[in-house]
Amino acid sequence: MKVKYYCKKFIAMLLTLLAVSFFVFAAFEIIPGDPATSILGTNATKESVQALREEMGLNAPFLSRYFSWVLSCCKGDFGISYSYHIPVREMIADKLPITLTMTVLAMLMTMIVSVLLGVFLAKHTRSVWDKCGYVVNQIAMAIPAFFLGILFTYLFGLILKWFTPGGYISYQKNFVGFLGYLIMPSIAIAIPKCAMSVKLLRSSILTEAGKDYVRTAYSRGNSTSQVLYRHVLKNAMIPVITFWGMALADMSAGSIVVEQVFNIPGLGRILLSSISNRDYPVVEAVIVLIAFLVVITNFLVDLLYRKMDHRMQDGEDLK
């Protein structure tokens, strides 16, 4: 039954990616504008535009171009950039580590801080700490990551001089300096998700604490800490892990805006510049790549959720 479950999830993941790729490719077919005209300029003759469209393969039928593009993507070939005239794969390979590193740092911060604060607030429910935590949580959830980035740039960059705004350090030259520069952007991305995670974990712990198995654990002589960390926390983490999966997917896409605030040359920069230049191969590749990261993340979260929640395994075994 496990193999069947994994196969179903894997097939669903592939179908989702195929659907995303189709809609992305179709969107640029519908959107007004012609890449050939953007390259040659508005003063170009119709003959030269048609000749360039033929050279770029844009005159071929839609489905023919789509399936050819999908097959090429499966081989790792995303085409040639209209603007830079280099393989899109090389452009993405240079920028992807930057965006991924920032997203992973933000996710690690979210996981560590939210577990520590969530457990602390649950243990001190209805205390002054809990009330203060509620207020801070509400504020943190309401502020967008890009606005936090602006505040951090002004406060820690311009006033306190903790880092140089716009002074990005390449990971190829100085990896430690690269990580140091990504700390502030990662914190800006992590804070709203961390606040949501803390609230969810606190609520989940309090819900689990009122169930029968907790009273049974106390009756067996377990201390409060033993019950919390051996029994309650494991079950309380199940909905939080699901949220982390969605948060990681959201961070992957949301980091694009934060990159612009801190002048980080990640996927966000080439995506926005390619949209304005109608560089469709680059835009399509970046969007499909982000969708791939989101789908893979959700797929792994589903597997982890099933591993932690034995009720799902028991339910599927009965089918």
- pLDDT for 1: 54
Which pTM value belongs to this model? 0.82
Higher pLDDT, 144 or 249: 144
% of the chain residues with pLDDT over 90: 19
Over residues 82-112, the pLDDT tens digits come to: 888 888 888 888 888 998 899 999 999 999 9
Of 44-53, 154-163, 222-231, 291-300, which one has max mean pLDDT? Answer: 154-163
* Residue 135 pLDDT greater than 80, yes or no: yes
Q: Report the range of poorest mean pLDDT among 19-33, 211-225, 299-313.
A: 299-313
Question: Whole-angstrom distance between the N-terminal and C-terminal Cα of the chain?
Answer: 9
Mean pLDDT, rounded, for 272-299: 83
Dihedral, CA atoms, 42, 46, 48, 51, nearest 10 degrees? 130
The rounded distance, in Å, linking the Cα atoms of 289 and 285 is 6
Mean pLDDT, rounded, for 236-254: 84
Half-sphere exposure of 120 (CA within 13 A, CB side): 14
Higher pLDDT, 123 or 278: 123
Catalogue all structural domains in the chain, each as residue range(s) with its CATH number. Answer: 95-318 (1.10.3720.10)
- pLDDT for 318: 41
- Give the residues across from 87 on adjacent strands: 80
* Residue 311 pLDDT greater than 70, yes or no: no
**In whole numbers, what is the pLDDT of the chain averaged over residues?**
84
Q: Report the range of poorest mean pLDDT among 58-67, 160-169, 310-319.
A: 310-319
Over residues 171-195, the pLDDT tens digits come to: 888 899 899 999 999 999 999 999 9
* Residue 283 pLDDT greater than 50, yes or no: yes
- pLDDT for 309: 61
